[in-house]
Structure formats: C-alpha cells, structure tokens
Structure 1
Amino acid sequence: MKQQNLWYWTYIAIFSFIHLHFSLEGFQVDLHYMISIPVILSVTFLLYRNVQVSLSGLGARWHYSIFIWQCILIAVYLGTEPAPVQGLLFTIFIGFESVRIAGSRKISGLTQSVTQFEEERNQLNDTFRVVRSERHDFLKHISALHFMLEHSEVKEARVYLDDLVDGYEETNLSIRGERGSVAGILHDMYRRGKNKGIEMIYDLDMPLSTLPLSDKDIVTLLGNLLSNSLDACEEFQQKKGKHPEIILQFYKRSGLYVLNCENDSLEIPSRIIDKLYESYGHTTKAGGHEGLGTKMINDIVKKYGGYLDFIHKEESFTVKIKFPAIH
C-alpha cells in the first residue's frame, strides 16, 4: 500500500507541474523551473505525509477512467493557445483527484466496516460455541468429580478441579457481564494471546460494556488496542526471547471511566512516538502496515470527549484512556 501511494503522489507531482506550467503561461506569468519544481515537490510531500489515501477502495476501472480524463485535460493545453481560462483546467484536475481520494476513502471505510462486522460475527459465534460446549460438558465434569470423591480420590479430584477451573477462566474473563460483541472481541484476543504464549491479564472492575460508547466503537477501540499490544508483544518475544504480557485494566474513578492497556514492547523511535496517535501512517510495526489503528483509537476517544495519554518507558508501553461517565 505504501508503494502504491508513493507512485500515486509521484503521478500527482508530475501532472501538477504540467498544469501549473501551462496555467501560468495562460496568465502570462513566467515562473522559472528552479522555483516551480521545488514548490510542487514540497506541496506534494506535505500532502503525502498528511493526506490518507486508500487507492484500493476504487476499482482499476475507475482509476483508469480518471487517468484518461486527466490526460485529456493535458491534451487540451497542447491544442490551444495560452489563455487565462487554462487556469480552470488546473481546478478541474484538482477536482478529479479530490473525487478519487474521497471516493476511495468512502469505499474503503465501507469495506472495512463489512470486514469488521464479519470478524465480530465470527468472534461471537466462536464464543457462543465455547460456552455451549462448556455447558454441555459441565454435568460430565460433575459426575467425574463425584465418582472420585465417592472413591476417596481427593487428590485426583483436586487436580481435576484445578484443571477445570483453569479451562473455564478464559471464557469467564471474557463474557462476565459483557454484551455479545464485546465478549466476542475479548474472548478472541485472549485466545490469540494464549496461542502465541503471551500472558493475557484482564483486570476489570466492571464490564467494559458499561462504557458510554456504541458497541461498534467499543469493539473498534478494544480490537485496535489489544491487536497493537499483541503485535508488540510478539515482536518483543521474538527479539528478546522473554515471556511478554498484556494487562488490560478498567475501572471507574471520580466520574471517569479509566481504561489502561499495558504491554511489553521494544524501543520505539522518537519520530514515531511523537505522532503515534495524531495522524495516519505512523506505526511501530514492520511490513506493510498503514498505521491506521492508532489514529482510529484517537478518533473514538475524541468523538466521546475522552482523553488519551501514553508512555513508553524502558520495555513497557502503556495507553491510558479516560471517558467522562455521561450516558
């Protein structure tokens, strides 16, 4: 995606330079290349750093169509004498690209919503299957314990009971008092962490469903927080060879809901830390990640009048989020 966006902004820089050159000719303004080229490159670079573009949102057919129309605009320059009206073609060029960016964002947002809905549904179904399975086997476990106690196998019964409690702990931590979608994301993240050898600790004074947010926003918030923590812990585990842990805390103090998420982490460069939750494109992850999750977290916090703070100290990264207790 990063490579794709780089090619897009290179295309924008080239076409912008052509439009600027012909537009200024139409107004009989002579701007030297040594000035116009740095100006175009500087503006394009600023847009590249601050404007999030999801080109995959639009299909290839739409991209090709817009490109053809942009080429037609360039051809109009070549077929007419310089005139002030040519400045209008530059405006049309900007309009085409604005439509492309807005359309790509809208479609990408809808696609992401559909994908998230499918994930939530699968998480909820998995949680339901686990609960149903545990309920189905409950009487069998009771019968086994009853048999051991009847035959004075107290030690064996205690070991069996300990194993049984450990097995139920995962589900109980996730679903206790939670609404379905929230229970689903908590259970899914807990299971992912355990499968990767990451210690997952849910220290919740009350259900996270009590947050004054919509279920969709709670799931998005928790999903991105815990997913980022899991990725950081996995990388920490690979590089350091240590046993990482994630601690999710939730409590209410002085009219505020407080959500803390702490995880082990490798060192994060200052250039990323400074803008981690402020804009798209800043990520601690390797590979083709776009840095969307942290910005989405911050957007939700702002949407509900909350406050977000984070600190990275030594090998620990902590995010603290506060929401006013107003429904």
Structure 2
Amino acid sequence: MPVTFLLYLKIHLSLWSLGANWNYSLCVLQIIIITVYLGTGPAPVHGVLFLLFIGLEFLRIAGAWRISGLTQSNRQLEDEQKQLNDTFRVVRSERHDFLKHISALHFMLEHDEIREAKMYLNDLVDGYEETNLSIRGERGSAAGILHDMYRKGRKVGIEMIYDLDMPLSTLPLSDKDLVTLLGNLLSNSLEACEEFQKHKGKQAEISLQFYKRSGLYMLICKNDSLEIPPHIVDKLYASYGHTTKTGTHEGLGTMMIDDVVKKHGGYLDFIHKNETFMVKIKFPAVH
C-alpha cells in the first residue's frame, strides 16, 4: 500500500479535475478495502484486495487524465472561437470604413494637403498590413491565431515578422493540431520576448518563416531570449515538466508542440545561441 501512495505523490496531475464527488466516493471505497485488508489475517483474499485498491487508483488517474484533456480541449476551442470572432470583427470594420478613408484622402488631396494625406495613408497601410499578414490565404483557424498573436506582440512593443511563402494552412494538419502548434510556438516566443525586453530594456523580435523545400515543409520560429540554463535547454522538448518560465508553469506547451510534430511524422530541432532561441520543424509534404 505505501508504494501506491508514493506513486500517487509523483503524478504530475491534479486529480481533483475528477470533481469532489467522484474523488470522495473512490476514497470511501479505498478506505473500506483497507479496513477489510487490516481486519483479516493473511489470506489469498489480500491479493484480491490489493489489486482492487490499485485498480481504483488507476481508475482515478485515468479519469482525471481524460477530464483534464477534455477541459483543455474545450478551453482551446473557446480561445480559437474568440480569436476568429476578433479577426472577423477587424476585417468587417476595416471593410465598413474603407470608403470613409477614401473620402478623407480625396478631401485632403483636393485641398493640397499632401503631407497630411501621406501621413494618413501610412497609418492606414500599417493597419491593413497587420490584418493582411495574418489572414492572407489562411483557413479561419490559422488566421485567428496568427492575427491574435500579431496583435498581442505589437501591443507590448515586440517586432512581429511573418515571412510566409505560402499559407500555413497548407500544412497537412487538422485545424486543432495547427492551432495547438502555432499557438504554443508563438505564445512561448511572446513570453520569452517580454522577459527579454523587461531585463534588457530593448525591443525584442519574433520571426515566423514558412516555406517548402525538397518535399519538406519548413516552419521556423525565432525569437530573442534571455540565457537559458543548459540543463533546461537539453531537456526542453525531450520530456514533460521542463520550462524556461518562472512560477508554476509545467512545460505543457513544449510537450504539446512535440506531440503534434511526432503525430504527423515531422522532425523538430531547436537551438539557443547568442540570446536567440530558434525552433525548426520539418513536415513531409504529403497529404
């Protein structure tokens, strides 16, 4: 029995995701089993009771994993829906105001306000460029996550560069896997860049490249980063529970990226050098 509790303490999972009722019910059953176990002398039934106790514990763990996964998927879908709604709202508002902008420019040019017209046009182009970089040729899921991350980066002063030879939606991934991959890659980069700006006092940069070469899709995400301890870098994508962030982060993002890459027969490599962190992912160009 003590071995079971030692294993229980080492599980990186909140078993309370099962809910209080299920946990209390399983605990009551296990207490009954322990009571019967201690109340009888050595007998073959002890083996059955031990296996029953272990079985209930594995049932608790499996149920918690399942519910935790469903909760995370639901949260991801809610985030994706919000991103899509935000992107649609931006595109709709830009389309709605387009004629108003043309009228304003026409008025300035008619009154020879050339300098003012140039400044107005530059601001207008910058706004349209932000949206165009995110949604050009992309499926809704990819457009939503790209636009959301671009907006978040620019909001905190991070230089965001999308160098995409083709839409990221070209990747042979489901919408769910594509959002998981892009969302975690860019979220990790944003957090690293915010820390970099905070400690270095200078602007950080994120670049996302995507192109196809020799039958392979190449996805490269590069960002400025503070120094990362070697013992964390060595195991960052190799196993669960390693993270460069402070606080209570569990390293789930890197694990989810690695899971998606392996699921689709891809290859992941990364390097940290001279305050730059780069992740290079290759997918075979097959559907």
Match of 1:296 in 2: 256
Amino acid in structure 1 at the alignment position of 2:230: S
Are 1:199 and 1:245, in contact at CA under 8 Å, matched by a contact in 2? yes
Once the two structures are superposed, the pairs formed by residues 1-327 of structure 1 within 5 Å of their partners are 15-17=1-3, 44=7, 48=10, 52-327=12-287
Over residues 26-68 of structure 1, what are the superposed CA-to-partner deviations in whole Å (9 max), with x where a residue is unaligned? xxxxxxxxxxxxxx96xx49x82xx542424210111122222
How far apart are the structure 1 equivalents of 2:31 and 2:200?
Answer: 53
How far apart are the structure 2 equivalents of 1:148 and 1:248?
Answer: 38
Match of 1:9 in 2: none
Moved more, 271-280 or 245-254: 271-280
TM-score with structure 1 setting the length = 0.84
What root-mean-square deviation, in Å, do the aligned CA atoms of Structure 1 and Structure 2 show?
1.7
How far apart are the structure 1 equivalents of 2:244 and 2:23?
Answer: 31
How far apart are the structure 1 equivalents of 2:159 and 2:75?
Answer: 27
Amino acid in structure 1 at the alignment position of 2:254: T
Are 1:258 and 1:323, in contact at CA under 8 Å, matched by a contact in 2? yes
Unaligned runs of at least 5 residues, structure 1: 1-14, 20-39
How far apart are the structure 2 equivalents of 1:59 and 1:241?
Answer: 45
Amino acid in structure 1 at the alignment position of 2:2: S
Deviation at 1:155, TM superposition (A): 2.0
How far apart are the structure 2 equivalents of 1:307 and 1:114?
Answer: 28
How far apart are the structure 1 equivalents of 2:186 and 2:225?
Answer: 13
Unaligned runs of at least 5 residues, structure 2: none
- Secondary structure of 1:287's counterpart equals coil
Amino acid in structure 2 at the alignment position of 1:181: S
Over residues 181-213 of structure 1, what are the superposed CA-to-partner deviations in whole Å (9 max), with x where a residue is unaligned? 110000001111111111111111111011111
Match of 1:26 in 2: none
Are 2:16 and 2:23, in contact at CA under 8 Å, matched by a contact in 1? no
Amino acid in structure 1 at the alignment position of 2:52: I
Deviation at 1:299, TM superposition (A): 0.6
Amino acid in structure 2 at the alignment position of 1:165: V
- Secondary structure of 2:163's counterpart equals strand
Deviation at 1:100, TM superposition (A): 1.0
Deviation at 1:280, TM superposition (A): 2.1
The number of residue pairs the alignment matches comes to 287
Over residues 230-259 of structure 1, what are the superposed CA-to-partner deviations in whole Å (9 max), with x where a residue is unaligned? 111111222222211111111111111000
Over residues 298-317 of structure 1, what are the superposed CA-to-partner deviations in whole Å (9 max), with x where a residue is unaligned? 01001110000000112111
Deviation at 1:70, TM superposition (A): 1.8
How far apart are the structure 1 equivalents of 2:20 and 2:193?
Answer: 37
Are 1:170 and 1:190, in contact at CA under 8 Å, matched by a contact in 2? yes
Amino acid in structure 2 at the alignment position of 1:77: Y
Are 1:56 and 1:108, in contact at CA under 8 Å, matched by a contact in 2? no
- Secondary structure of 2:80's counterpart equals helix
- Secondary structure of 1:178's counterpart equals coil
- Secondary structure of 1:128's counterpart equals helix
Moved more, 76-85 or 203-212: 76-85
